[in-house]
């Protein structure tokens, strides 16, 4: 693992950013280690920079110009007199050249041997090694012949469905499921391109695609003396596009015999490559049979659930092993205590094909954190920007319970109180996932999201009580915003037409909102008696609200930054956040999002034939040219944002008029990308 056994680490450089950098610092600083952070232009005010003992600037915002530049990171390590480097996960964590350069410089590498990274860095080579070590494999082709026609023949031989994936890949990049012969070539080309773009390697392998497996992985640890343990399993079956959504430990409906057999197979795999440090061996599990999938030669995103059930700090273990110490515990000293679950909160829009989102975290209300029971690993705080340059993960919410049922109950409660406004997130989607009955029963597979898509991906109607909360917030903001409106000539302001509406006198007005699914809601509001029975601190307002033919009498007041309102004899509370004419409504029943409908001339009316960017991102491929005749559905351009590719397709038959950007250009959400004339 390093060149200097039994040397104490005193100055640790963390070659990463965000949540994982903060996580490593917490453990390292706890045991008295001085932590050195890195930052790019986009990260000057990031949490990991503020929490470090010192931080060094390494370049422009794109990772390829900063965090991925080996020479720069190494120079900072020397200049900062770091005696060790921890790579976190992602970025350079599984880059054998980086690990070798660090050790050549006489710096301790908090990671596995270079030979182990190389052995497991290629999916095809790792399969060959595992075959020799008698670790069970999924049937498939893992050879060197990369001719596209040859690969296509191998896919046909395996039998559909087949999974094609980049040999050097990870995180779902360069992976395609092929269901029929006519899909083969397109999948091969796309996987090769993604492999080259993401990992600099377009080598592919093909395997039989098991249609409803579980994804179960084993946390292994080995020291420099050849001692090894497994810290039990994690079930990471609930995934979207091969990205994990929910992780838990131990795996539900998993016997002690299966745990031991898989754990021993994982240790066998680690010993076969003379492993050191933390590693994860991933398996596909199918009705009692398991197959080796890959080994991640680093700390995993989901390591906290293992920490919660074992009571161990895996980062401290990594540091101890890197210093040449023996493993802190033996296998018979390790025990499972309780149950843990983790969900990943992403800046993405589940109701818009999970496209990454960007913006400012205007409002954060965190769940109540309880030592050993509710934990939040994050690299952002209120007011921070979510940029298009890096992975869109905002945080990881991890909970523990004495058993799985209690753990799930704690997770549901924590998710209900976790609120984010200013950036669209997957929080509402996660709430839907954990409320599916099959999840409560532990009936999970990698097809879970597809199987329950009707429950998970559909935006439900805005509940009446959320609509009422939005109207009440509107009323409390009315006078102050009205003053701003009267001082300006902005006729597109949604408050501009409210000259007749005043507190203290009867007034009527129609408010118009749009839902995320583009439904328009008209609400008639009558102010009955503003400031009645009130104190100056908490005015009580009475309203008549008419919606969809029903009339409701509502009393409302503000308390502790929340809107309180009485409807149908029941008082409720909600927090309503406004940002760029969008209202985010939160209460203990969930969240809703509404936007104000502005003046007609300011409506979003996309010109027929124009195509706009669905997110902030970079143009990585252009498949069309001016004058070209295209059919509806043809791919015209490919964008990449936060490690995800998105195809821009022709909305109709027509002719391309203009391509507005070039390959490599960074574009903003809603920017016009292509203009075309309809046929």
Q: How far apart are CA 486 and CA 541, in angstroms?
A: 23
Q: Is the dihedral of CA 122, 125, 127, 129 positive or negative?
A: negative
Q: How far apart are CA 48 and CA 24, in angstroms?
A: 10
Strand order in the sheet with 34-40: 54-59, 34-40, 11-14, 84-86, 108-109
Strand order in the sheet with 140-141: 140-141, 204-208, 162-166, 175-178
CA distances from 359 to 353, 387, 394, 591, 615 (A): 18, 7, 12, 19, 11
CB 144 within 8 Å of CB 172: no
CB 659 within 8 Å of CB 622: yes
Catalytic residue among 259, 298, 404, 557: 298
Q: Categorise residue 411: left if φ over 0, alpha if ψ from -120 to 50, beta otherwise.
A: alpha
Residue 425 tokens read as 């997130």
Strand order in the sheet with 277-286: 289-296, 277-286, 214-222, 228-235, 246-249, 339-346, 393-401, 374-378
**Sequence-separated contacts (24+) of 606-609 with Cβ below 8 Å:** 608/652, 608/678, 609/651, 609/652, 609/654, 609/657, 609/675, 609/676, 609/677, 609/678
- Residue 298 is a catalytic residue: yes
Q: How far apart are CA 22 and CA 379, in angstroms?
A: 6
SS (H, E, C) 627-661: CCEECCCCEEEEEEECCEEEEEECCCCEEEEEECC
Q: How far apart are CA 379 and CA 375, in angstroms?
A: 13
Could you list the active site residues? 298
């Amino acid at each position: 693992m390093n060149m200097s056994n039994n040397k104490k680490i005193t100055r640790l450089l963390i070659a990463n950013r965000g949540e994982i950098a903060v996580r490593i610092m917490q453990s390292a600083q706890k045991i008295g280690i001085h932590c050195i952070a890195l930052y790019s232009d986009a990260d000057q005010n990031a949490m990991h920079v503020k929490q470090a003992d010192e931080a060094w600037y390494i370049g422009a915002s794109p990772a390829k110009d900063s965090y991925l530049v080996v020479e720069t990171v190494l120079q900072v390590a020397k200049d900062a007199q770091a005696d060790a480097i921890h790579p976190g996960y992602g970025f350079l964590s599984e880059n054998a050249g980086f690990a070798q350069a660090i050790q050549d410089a006489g710096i301790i590498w908090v990671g596995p041997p270079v030979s182990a990274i190389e052995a497991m860095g290629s999916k095809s080579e790792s399969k060959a090694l595992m075959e020799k070590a008698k670790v069970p494999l999924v049937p498939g082709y893992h050879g060197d012949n990369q001719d596209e026609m040859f690969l296509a023949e191998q896919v046909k031989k395996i039998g559909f469905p087949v999974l094609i994936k980049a040999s050097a890949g990870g995180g779902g990049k360069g992976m395609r499921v092929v269901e029929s012969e006519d899909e083969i070539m397109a999948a091969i080309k796309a996987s090769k391109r993604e492999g080259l773009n993401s990992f600099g390697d377009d080598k592919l392998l093909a395997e039989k695609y098991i249609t409803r497996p579980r994804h179960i992985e084993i946390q292994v640890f080995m020291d420099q003396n050849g001692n090894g343990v497994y810290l039990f399993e994690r079930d990471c079956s609930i995934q979207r596009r091969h990205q994990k959504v929910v992780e838990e430990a131990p795996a539900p409906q998993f016997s002690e015999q299966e745990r031991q057999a898989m754990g021993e197979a994982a240790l066998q795999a680690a010993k076969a490559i003379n492993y050191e440090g933390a590693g994860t061996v991933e398996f596909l599990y199918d009705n009692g049979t398991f197959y080796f999938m890959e080994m991640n030669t680093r700390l995993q995103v989901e390591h906290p659930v293992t920490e919660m059930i074992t009571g161990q700090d895996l980062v401290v273990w990594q540091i101890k092993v890197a210093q040449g110490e023996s493993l802190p515990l033996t296998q018979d000293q390790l025990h499972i205590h309780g149950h843990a679950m983790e969900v990943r909160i992403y800046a993405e829009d589940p109701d818009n094909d999970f496209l990454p989102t960007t913006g400012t975290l205007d409002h954060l209300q965190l769940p109540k954190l309880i030592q050993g029971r509710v934990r939040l690993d994050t690299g952002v705080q209120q007011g921070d920007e979510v940029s298009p340059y890096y992975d869109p993960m905002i945080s990881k919410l991890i909970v523990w319970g004495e058993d799985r049922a209690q753990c799930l109950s704690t997770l549901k409660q924590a998710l209900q109180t976790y609120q984010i406004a200013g950036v669209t997130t997957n929080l509402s989607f996660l709430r839907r996932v954990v409320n599916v009955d099959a999840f409560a029963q532990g009936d999970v597979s990698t097809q879970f999201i597809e199987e329950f898509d009707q429950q998970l991906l559909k935006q439900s109607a805005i509940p009446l009580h959320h609509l009422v909360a939005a109207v009440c917030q509107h009323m409390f903001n009315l006078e102050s915003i009205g003053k701003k409106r009267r001082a300006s000539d902005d006729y597109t302001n949604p408050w501009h037409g409210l000259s007749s509406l005043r507190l203290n006198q009867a007034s009527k007005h129609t408010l118009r909102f749009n839902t995320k699914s583009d439904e328009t809601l008209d609400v008639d509001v009558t102010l009955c008696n503003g400031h009645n029975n009130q104190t100056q601190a908490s005015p009580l307002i009475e309203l008549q609200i008419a919606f969809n033919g029903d009339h409701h009498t509502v009393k409302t007041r503000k308390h502790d930054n929340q809107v309180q309102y009485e409807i149908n004899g029941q008082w409720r509370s909600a927090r309503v956040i406004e940002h760029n004419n969008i209202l985010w409504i939160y209460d203990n029943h969930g969240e809703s999002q509404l936007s104000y409908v502005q003046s007609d001339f300011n409506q979003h009316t996309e010109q027929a034939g124009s195509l706009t960017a669905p997110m902030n991102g970079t143009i990585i491929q252009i498949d069309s040219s001016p004058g070209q005749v295209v059919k509806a559905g043809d791919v015209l351009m490919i964008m990449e944002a936060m490690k995800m590719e998105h195809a821009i397709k022709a909305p109709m038959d027509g002719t391309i008029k203009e391509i507005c950007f070039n390959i490599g250009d960074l574009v903003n959400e809603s920017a016009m990308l292509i203009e075309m004339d309809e046929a």
